[in-house]
């Protein structure tokens, strides 16, 4: 299996284990690798060190939140030029995160302002726009990296998929589109899959998303079809260990009548090829 979305310590919030501990869990569980994600710093160096020490394929990237300078081509050049493979558009600092009252860095340090980030076509008061978004997209295309939509809205995801395809970006992953943010409908998710976007479902949604159920996630999976990607998005102290979280997600969806072989591919070969091939 290959987990395309996991969090580990060190982080500004509590995590279930440090990088080496999480990596050891994956190795013991027989995973071939994983993508290490952080909302507030690049994980490229951390991932490289884990690859060298473990022999697993550990992948890093950068989330374009305020600590990275927002939608910042300098940060993208640094991350991708150092071997990173994944660029997440704003997550913790997306305007949707603030509107939904989901956690932000400014919750931990009240002296920080609460300015947020957005992608065209969203234009709202107090939103910091980047004139460099076109360069960021061009850099992702040139490095054949993975564009993850982060926590931006459905309208922004549509803009991103249009721009990505215009530039020849083929590695396009909708970050948990059925999660609270961006909160897409099953019908809209099916439209994105028809456009060639990969669709992520996470184990985190089962444990922590209000009102979510395995039955609802099964509907999302069917809408995704052969573009389905299953991930843990684990690392929280009140979640299972990441490998077990992903296995429980597969089991829960299988319990809804979905084909186990298809689900296994969505948690292994499909995400691995998306990130590495």
Q: Tell me, what CATH number does 243's domain have?
A: 3.20.20.140
- Summarised one tens digit per residue, pLDDT across range 218-258 is 999 999 999 999 999 999 999 999 999 999 999 999 999 99
Edge-to-edge strand list for the sheet holding 33-36 = 2-6, 33-36, 57-59
Query: Can you give the residue range of the structural domain that contains 139?
Result: 2-276
Q: What is the average pLDDT value for the chain, to the nearest integer? A: 96
pLDDT-derived band at 125 (thresholds 50, 70, 90) equals low
Stated pTM of the model: 0.96
- pLDDT of residue 122 exceeding 90, the answer is no
Rounded CA-CA distance 220/159 in Å is: 21
- Summarised one tens digit per residue, pLDDT across range 169-196 is 999 999 999 999 999 999 999 999 999 9
- pLDDT of residue 30 exceeding 70, the answer is yes
- Summarised one tens digit per residue, pLDDT across range 147-170 is 999 999 999 999 999 999 999 999
pLDDT-derived band at 130 (thresholds 50, 70, 90) equals low
- pLDDT of residue 123 exceeding 90, the answer is no
Task: Give how many domains the chain has, as a whole number.
Answer: 1
- pLDDT of residue 15 exceeding 90, the answer is yes
Radius of gyration over every alpha carbon of the chain, rounded to an integer in angstroms: 17
| Token duo for residue 32 | 């071939």
In the chain, DSSP assigns E strands to 2-6, 33-36, 57-59, 61-63, 86-88, 116-117, 127-128, 146-148, 172-174, 198-202, 228-231
Q: What percent of the chain has pLDDT over 70?
A: 97
- List the one residue out of 80, 91, 87, 86 whose CA is nearest residue 33: 86
- pLDDT of residue 126 exceeding 90, the answer is no
């Amino acid at each position: 299996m290959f987990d395309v979305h996991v969090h580990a310590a060190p982080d500004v919030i509590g995590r279930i284990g440090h990088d080496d501990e999480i990596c050891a869990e994956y190795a013991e569980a027989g995973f071939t690798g994983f993508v290490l994600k952080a909302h507030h710093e690049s994980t490229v160096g951390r991932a490289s060190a884990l690859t060298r020490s473990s022999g697993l394929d550990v992948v890093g990237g950068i989330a374009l939140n305020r600590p990275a300078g927002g939608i910042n081509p300098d940060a993208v050049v640094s991350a991708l030029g150092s071997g990173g493979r994944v660029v997440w558009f704003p997550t913790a600092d997306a305007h949707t995160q603030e509107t939904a009252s989901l956690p932000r860095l400014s919750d931990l340090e009240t002296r920080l302002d609460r300015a947020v980030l957005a992608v065209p076509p969203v234009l709202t008061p107090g939103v910091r726009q980047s004139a460099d978004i076109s360069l960021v997209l061009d850099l992702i295309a040139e490095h054949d990296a993975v564009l993850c939509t982060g926590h931006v809205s459905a309208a922004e995801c549509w803009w991103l998929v249009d721009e990505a395809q215009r530039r020849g970006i083929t590695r396009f992953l909708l970050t948990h589109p059925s999660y609270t943010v961006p909160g897409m409908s099953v019908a809209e998710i099916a439209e994105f899959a028809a456009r060639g976007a990969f669709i992520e479902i996470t184990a985190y949604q089962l444990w922590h998303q209000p009102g979510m159920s395995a039955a609802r996630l099964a509907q999302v999976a069917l809408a995704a079809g052969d573009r389905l990607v299953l991930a843990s998005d684990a690392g929280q102290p009140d979640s299972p260990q990441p490998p077990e979280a992903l296995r429980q997600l597969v089991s829960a969806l299988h319990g809804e009548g979905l084909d186990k072989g298809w689900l296994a591919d969505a948690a292994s070969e499909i995400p691995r090829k998306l990130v590495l091939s």
